Structure 1
Amino acid sequence: MSSAVGPLRACALATAILSSPVNAQSNGQKQLPPVTVEAPQQKRDATRRPSRDTTRSPQIARSRRGPDTPAQSAGNQIGASRVALGVLSAQQALKEINNTPGGVALVPAEAYRNSTVANTIKDILDYVPGVFAQPKWGDDTRLSIRGSGLSRNFHLRGVQLYMDGIPINTSDGYGDFQEIDPTAYKYVEVYKGGNALQFGANSLGGAINFVTPTGRDQYPNGVSVDFGAFNTRRLQANAGGANGSWDGFVTASTQASDGFRDHSWGSSNRISANVGYQISPDVETRFYLNANEVRQRIPGSVDRTTALNSPTTAAPVNVANDWQRNIDTVRVANKTTIRFEDTKIELGAFGVDRHLMHPIFQWLDYRYKDYGGFAKVTDDRVIGGFRNRFVAGFNVLNGTIDARQFVNTGGLKGAPTSSLLQKPENYSAFAENSFYFLPNVAFIAGTQYLFAVRDQHVNFSTNGDLNGRSTFSLWSPKTGLLWQVDPTWQVFGNISRSAEVPSFGESVSPNFLNPALPNIPFFLIKPQTATTFEVGTRMKRPDYAWELTFYRSNIDNELLCLYSAFGNCNVTNANKTIHQGVETGAGAAIFREIFVGGAAPDKIWLNIAYTLNDFRFDNDPVFNNNLLPGAPRHFVRAELLYKHPNGVYFGPNLEWVPQAYYVDSANTLMTSAYAIWGLKAGFDNGGPVTGYIEARNIANKAYIASASIIDRATSTSPLFEPGTGRAIYAGVRYRW
């Protein structure tokens, strides 16, 4: 155990004695913040401000128990009228994110935290259209937004992850889900594609930001217990409070599971904390700590027959060589917020120490030391009688990777095979202006500039690694319109550019090359660029909500698997590809007053999210106009819940992939179509006690949840990840 994170188990228990009382109102059954909550009062009297806030409406990211959420009570500002300046409430974040003329979503914790086991990122993002998230084993998940990172058979690429605005991805672009604790956040923001401009995101998939509570939030103290199938168990606790200018919050969890498949057991210990100090009513600084200790066995991908007929079976080589992915991480950061009359400035810096211990085909021992900073200015004022909102900033994410590999002998570190020093650098600057030429219509234009470096020095290698350096200089402009039809309804459209710089993994090691093809080391891989056209609309009203987005991305040099050797996918640049699709979601009270009438009637609530993916080569010299492998054409998630005003709810849910999808670029081998269903029941009236019981895949159907991809597959290609069989989970949470 790393000494840096060894005390996590103790910290999880220590949170119980750090609590302080909170005044809070019951939040009933509502799950999304209302439109009318105002931002913190600035120095100038609100009557002198333009009445622009009344035209904004929240993104319709829905709770699974309905689209309504209460306002936070005034009493949650402990001991004072202060609010956190640098961490928006869910209400404020919804208003902020709705300034985006494109595909975005905000998922409040109440949408998943109190009614599901919330083991993985899939539990958070299940009902966000356009997002395909499927667990593979443990916390590891195959995540793709609008077809991003389809060729990445391990780790994450194509979506940039942030925690409180601080990067989770490594400085060369890799991402891992082991550092995500679904119990730790108060809401999650999803910015698809070029809509993630403000984060310096440079990828087709965009960015996801996980936001933790502060000591000034409602219910800062709590404890929860979850348990269920495959010997899954989790204990989580959090504590917080405020005293005058100071506030603090800490949350910790310890979790373990034997896993559905053989050789898939794992455990994790995680802690997140922040301390804020308000220097004045308009200046706040906040310090963050995040640490993780994860130990996870890897069952591996298997062939299609095994996946569908013996889904618990692990790949033999994974068992023989004890494949694992173990991570220790410590992340520290500071963010300072300064508020003026019409302007807000945010400044921050961070450092990350990540140790990856990863016995697979070789024993990977990687030490990442990442660091960086950011600055952002937001100016929202009336100029010449017109509202104008200007946002600009810069981001720096640099690091060093001490990448050492050894022979893997039954899970033990053997003789060294390589030692590399990799130095990625990323500098981005952005600016975006929204000019309201009509009171409810804005013209939006912006751009981002990215300068990136990938530098590798080979100290020693028997793997054929090469010295090399590549630099990238990329502009990503964006323009769009945002029409606020009424306070609950928006229409938007935009044209944006995105660029994805390759990581060190986007390379073809010389000793793995197809002899018929030239060497393509990492420093010759080109950046992936895309131009995306997007139109859509979203609405939220008391008893129904919906969103609908159409998009098309024309992509140059997409990072794809075009050929392979020894069963391994080698990622290189395709010529031209097309990603297009439809993202739609809806929630509605289809029946009301079944047994209870009045101002708070009972309801039957329908939630549905549907994604249409059409990803294909565009006159490729080898694969013509074949479909791109790795993602289903249709993906449906639906839920029907009866909700009683006393907080009781129950009902079925469905996950449906009606059409199998290809796993190879040659379009010769497919997954299988499937439909799985479950049931959940629970109690949540917005008060201090919540509980749930949930049954998943009740029919115990064998299905393929996700798949790795390759250029040309055979019937024995080990590419498939079996879905989890029948499982029942339960949990209870107490907060105050």
Structure 2
Amino acid sequence: MSFASMQARRLLLASAAACFSVSFAHAQATQSHLPPVTVDAPQQKRAAATRPPVGGARSTRASRARNPAAATQPVHTATAPGALTVPTVQQALRDIQQTPGGVAIVPAEAYRNSSVANTIKDVLDYVPGVFAQPKWGDDTRLSIRGSGLSRNFHLRGVQLYMDGIPINTADGYGDFQEIDPTAYKYVEVYKGANALRFGANALGGAINFVTPTGRDPFVNSASVDVGAFGYRRFQASVGSANGSWDGFFTASNQAADGFRDHSDGHATRASGNVGYQFSPDFETRFYLNANEVRQRIPGSVSRTSALTSPETAAVNNIAQDQQRNIDTVRIANKTTFRFDDTTVDIGVFGLDRHLMHPIFQWLDYKYVDYGGFGRITDDRLIGGYRNRLIAGINVINGRIDNQQFANIGGQKGALLSSSVDRSKNTSIYVEDSFYVLPSVAVIGGTQFLYATRDRWDRYLSDGDQSGATSFALWSPKGGLLWDIDPTWQAFANISRSAEVPSFGESSSGPNIPFIPFTSIRPQRATTYEIGTRGRRPDFTWELTGYRAEIRDELLCLYSAFGNCNVTNADRTVHQGIEAGVGAAIVRGLLAPGDKPDKIWLNLAYTLNDFRFDRDAIFGNNILPGAPRHFLRAEVLYKHPTGFYLGPNVEWVPRAYYVDSANTLMTEAYAIWGLKAGFDNGGPYSGYIEARNIANTAYIASSSIIDKATAASPLFEPGTGRAVYAGLRVRW
């Protein structure tokens, strides 16, 4: 048995033992409904909107109580008169907990009213297994289970959705500049192949941002946030329902001078939707999303510069006035039908994006992405046994009209390259959960992906670099889900994932022909996962162990002029432990009674063990780009009136490598914060938050390379001491 296999076995056994040790210690507690999220949030005081849709109240449907004795009954949509196309938080929690693997839902109340919430990190800070670190402005380096470690720009390995509608580019890239954390009522995180319900099949899984509708409570709001380094944001939303119609619209404008030199920027974002209910079981909804982002880029610097002069920008970034400017307009439609035990979702979408991006060259990219999707969910009894079937199809196509010019002090110079890149992706998927016992489901599924990539080179002075290729990939999955009691689940699964190279996967160098993908293979992984999750009145937990054995991982194995070029590694291993806890460690300290005050602990810990597996060049070296240990924790005093106060910490106890040769590392760090505020779930809330109180110089994130030197400009300094405050009113 190899060393890696022995380590994996020990890892999974330790995870399983810890899972059941934690769970048995609390087996006697009782509470119905089991949301797999560790973040504790205030509950909204107002009930769900009571405006009845056309046709009166929803038709009454059977719903299963969350206990093993009733588990043979199908689960149907709740009877509350909300939007059929957009589940409530409670409905989404109930649906997601039928996944035999690592998942989480983060309601907006968990972060929106108690934090500046200006990046995706603020949303996902307490989801174990997610490593999200801002670089500059809204740009964030995000990895789930080691996904996309090779990407020094853009996101890969995680598929992004907005209301279940894809928002990645057709060739697989994702970005966070178009994400507005103030615009959503909850965010769903599906780790790894647990995202199959969307037809997603990336190593990191999927993130779905869900916007409110006019039928939600507190749909009208206004807020203002201000703080360090010239930060200011104004946000407002409005919505209403009237008979068959409802609508919601939100907009925000934010700007900041930035902690670092040459990092100022501003953004205006708007989202809205309009829904119409033809009947209680037939609804259509139209979506609009638009963004204008203007952001200067301070750039990566050397390790010494990052730790001794973190405000300093890279010299070339200033000389070339490097920026990232984006204009986007996205329109979409989603329609939902319900027939007794069956729900059908269908939709179409289109996106126009213009990227104006002066960096080492002046990139002028125009994207047009479009597609459609269909999904059927059937939850019924078959021969007296409950069976839940999800099947669907996704079509995502796109065209990139790209031109690259010389960058002359931030202005366009001579044309240096020009091409039209086309991507087409069609995936079909199916997942079936059959309850062999009232509380035990056996789950099987698969996805088939057919994808093509086609480049037409319009700039031939350096040779014709046109080319095309196609991929046909199957990815099966199997798992078990056990409802041990109404508040406690255990799960296990084995799954395959596949990722098709994007147009950015690699391009130059003597060993990597530029003709797209003639030498770049898709990344394939087999992942083993086991874990548990639960929610009790004063204790929530999530504990998962996993091991992914990867072939042809898309990694940086070659570099030129300091830039990483991505190609396939042979074999690699990603394994780890994801642990989250939410617990009332003290109750009734100053306010005893039925609703006592509490001292509440939120904790998210991630263990990452990512390695080459007997690589011809790098042996069993550690994969660069992610810390081995990452801890995020807070302790809050929470009074029943809504007042809260407490410290928090982010801790990376060991430095991590930034190159595949394992020659250069970051530095370990711990940063402390403190926040206080008021939020009782009612119309008014406010907060004040201090971050990095000790003004620690630290490295927040890094790019990676094959072999680094002490002068390699790979490091993104973290933000210094900062104080933010905000007020919000909603009705």
TM-score, scaled relative to structure 2:
0.91
In the TM superposition, what whole-angstrom CA distance separates every residue of 1:566-592 from its partner, at most 9, and x where no partner exists?
Answer: 111110000000000000000100000
How much has 1:168 moved relative to structure 2? 1.4
1:158-197 paired onto structure 2 within 5 Å:
158-197=157-196
Give the secondary-structure state (helix, strand or coil) at the position aligned to 2:193.
helix
Counterpart amino acid of 2:687? Y
1:423-434 paired onto structure 2 within 5 Å:
423-434=422-433
Task: Specify the alignment match of 1:650 in structure 2.
Answer: 645
Give me the whole-angstrom Cα distance separating, in 2, the residues matched to 1:224 and 1:696: 21
Task: Specify the alignment match of 1:7 in structure 2.
Answer: none
Give me the whole-angstrom Cα distance separating, in 1, the residues matched to 2:45 and 2:32: 16
How much has 1:56 moved relative to structure 2? 7.6
In the TM superposition, what whole-angstrom CA distance separates every residue of 1:67-113 from its partner, at most 9, and x where no partner exists?
Answer: 67468614454787432101000000000011100011000001100
How much has 1:465 moved relative to structure 2? 6.6
Q: Contact 1:71–1:91 (CA<8 Å) still a contact in 2? A: no
Task: Specify the alignment match of 1:580 in structure 2.
Answer: 575
1:516-535 paired onto structure 2 within 5 Å:
517=511, 519=513, 521-524=515-518, 525-535=520-530
Counterpart of 1:60 (choices 36, 40, 43) is 36
Task: Specify the alignment match of 1:551 in structure 2.
Answer: 546
Return 5+ residue gaps in structure 2 as ranges: 1-29, 58-80
Q: Contact 1:708–1:720 (CA<8 Å) still a contact in 2? A: yes
Q: Contact 1:77–1:217 (CA<8 Å) still a contact in 2? A: no
Counterpart amino acid of 2:397? N
Q: Contact 1:171–1:399 (CA<8 Å) still a contact in 2? A: yes
Q: Contact 2:42–2:679 (CA<8 Å) still a contact in 1? A: no
How much has 1:548 moved relative to structure 2? 0.2
Give the secondary-structure state (helix, strand or coil) at the position aligned to 1:196.
helix
How much has 1:523 moved relative to structure 2? 1.7
Q: Contact 1:57–1:95 (CA<8 Å) still a contact in 2? A: yes
Give the secondary-structure state (helix, strand or coil) at the position aligned to 1:522.
coil
How much has 1:152 moved relative to structure 2? 0.2
Give the secondary-structure state (helix, strand or coil) at the position aligned to 2:318.
helix
Q: Contact 1:192–1:205 (CA<8 Å) still a contact in 2? A: yes
Give the secondary-structure state (helix, strand or coil) at the position aligned to 1:622.
coil
How much has 1:201 moved relative to structure 2? 1.6
Give me the whole-angstrom Cα distance separating, in 2, the residues matched to 1:465 and 1:643: 65
How much has 1:281 moved relative to structure 2? 1.3
How much has 1:62 moved relative to structure 2? 2.7
1:142-161 paired onto structure 2 within 5 Å:
142-161=141-160
| Residues 1:104 and 2:103 aligned together | yes
1:371-520 paired onto structure 2 within 5 Å:
371-461=370-460, 466-509=465-508, 513-514=509-510, 517=511, 519=513
Counterpart amino acid of 1:62? T
Give the secondary-structure state (helix, strand or coil) at the position aligned to 1:113.
coil
How much has 1:520 moved relative to structure 2? 5.5
Give me the whole-angstrom Cα distance separating, in 1, the residues matched to 2:275 and 2:454: 37
Give me the whole-angstrom Cα distance separating, in 2, the residues matched to 1:705 and 1:402: 34
| Residues 1:719 and 2:718 aligned together | no
Task: Specify the alignment match of 1:31 in structure 2.
Answer: none
Change (3 A) 1:444 1:151: same
Change (3 A) 1:413 1:465: farther
Task: Specify the alignment match of 1:209 in structure 2.
Answer: 208
Give the secondary-structure state (helix, strand or coil) at the position aligned to 1:460.
coil
Q: Contact 1:62–1:111 (CA<8 Å) still a contact in 2? A: no
Counterpart amino acid of 1:423? R
After superposing on structure 2, the runs of 4+ consecutive aligned residues of structure 1 that deviate more than 6 Å are: none
Task: Specify the alignment match of 1:662 in structure 2.
Answer: 657
Give me the whole-angstrom Cα distance separating, in 1, the residues matched to 2:720 and 2:264: 15
Change (3 A) 1:149 1:461: farther
Give me the whole-angstrom Cα distance separating, in 2, the residues matched to 1:552 and 1:112: 30
Q: Contact 1:418–1:462 (CA<8 Å) still a contact in 2? A: no
Task: Specify the alignment match of 1:611 in structure 2.
Answer: 606
Q: Contact 2:429–2:448 (CA<8 Å) still a contact in 1? A: yes
Counterpart of 2:47 (choices 73, 77, 94) is 73
Counterpart amino acid of 1:690? S
How much has 1:518 moved relative to structure 2? 5.3
- Two-structure CA RMSD over aligned residues (Å): 1.4
Q: Contact 1:505–1:522 (CA<8 Å) still a contact in 2? A: no
How much has 1:196 moved relative to structure 2? 0.8
How much has 1:304 moved relative to structure 2? 0.2
How much has 1:519 moved relative to structure 2? 3.0
Give me the whole-angstrom Cα distance separating, in 1, the residues matched to 2:639 and 2:152: 44
How much has 1:57 moved relative to structure 2? 3.5
Task: Specify the alignment match of 1:674 in structure 2.
Answer: 669
| Residues 1:359 and 2:382 aligned together | no
Counterpart amino acid of 2:423? P
Of 214-223 and 196-205, more deviation after overlay is shown by 196-205
How much has 1:202 moved relative to structure 2? 2.6
In the TM superposition, what whole-angstrom CA distance separates every residue of 1:269-308 from its partner, at most 9, and x where no partner exists?
Answer: 0000000000111100000000000000000000000000
Return 5+ residue gaps in structure 1 as ranges: 1-53
Give me the whole-angstrom Cα distance separating, in 1, the residues matched to 2:397 and 2:241: 34
| Residues 1:700 and 2:695 aligned together | yes
Give the secondary-structure state (helix, strand or coil) at the position aligned to 1:122.
helix
1:293-332 paired onto structure 2 within 5 Å:
293-332=292-331
What fraction of aligned residue pairs are identical, expressed as a percent? 71
In the TM superposition, what whole-angstrom CA distance separates every residue of 1:148-190 from its partner, at most 9, and x where no partner exists?
Answer: 0000000111111111111111000111110000000000000
Q: Contact 1:138–1:259 (CA<8 Å) still a contact in 2? A: yes
1:266-345 paired onto structure 2 within 5 Å:
266-345=265-344
How much has 1:729 moved relative to structure 2? 0.2
Give me the whole-angstrom Cα distance separating, in 1, the residues matched to 2:44 and 2:481: 26
Change (3 A) 1:78 1:137: farther
Change (3 A) 1:397 1:75: closer
Give the secondary-structure state (helix, strand or coil) at the position aligned to 1:718.
coil
In the TM superposition, what whole-angstrom CA distance separates every residue of 1:13-49 from its partner, at most 9, and x where no partner exists?
Answer: xxxxxxxxxxxxxxxxxxxxxxxxxxxxxxxxxxxxx
Task: Specify the alignment match of 2:242 in structure 1.
Answer: 243
Q: Contact 1:148–1:204 (CA<8 Å) still a contact in 2? A: yes
Give me the whole-angstrom Cα distance separating, in 2, the residues matched to 1:244 and 1:362: 54
Change (3 A) 1:464 1:544: farther
Give me the whole-angstrom Cα distance separating, in 2, the residues matched to 1:72 and 1:344: 28
Q: Contact 1:436–1:443 (CA<8 Å) still a contact in 2? A: yes
How much has 1:487 moved relative to structure 2? 1.1
Q: Contact 2:31–2:535 (CA<8 Å) still a contact in 1? A: no
Q: Contact 2:49–2:82 (CA<8 Å) still a contact in 1? A: no
Q: Contact 2:564–2:705 (CA<8 Å) still a contact in 1? A: yes
- Give the total of aligned pairs: 676
Counterpart of 1:628 (choices 609, 623, 629) is 623
Give me the whole-angstrom Cα distance separating, in 1, the residues matched to 2:702 and 2:213: 38
In the TM superposition, what whole-angstrom CA distance separates every residue of 1:458-509 from its partner, at most 9, and x where no partner exists?
Answer: 0115566711111000011000000001111000000010001010000222
How much has 1:217 moved relative to structure 2? 0.2
Give the secondary-structure state (helix, strand or coil) at the position aligned to 1:693.
strand
Task: Specify the alignment match of 2:683 in structure 1.
Answer: 688
Counterpart of 1:567 (choices 559, 562, 567) is 562
How much has 1:203 moved relative to structure 2? 1.2
Q: Contact 1:702–1:725 (CA<8 Å) still a contact in 2? A: yes
Give the secondary-structure state (helix, strand or coil) at the position aligned to 1:717.
coil
Change (3 A) 1:721 1:74: closer
In the TM superposition, what whole-angstrom CA distance separates every residue of 1:577-622 from its partner, at most 9, and x where no partner exists?
Answer: 0000000000100000001111000000011100000000000000
Q: Contact 1:634–1:657 (CA<8 Å) still a contact in 2? A: yes
How much has 1:627 moved relative to structure 2? 0.1
Q: Contact 1:251–1:272 (CA<8 Å) still a contact in 2? A: yes
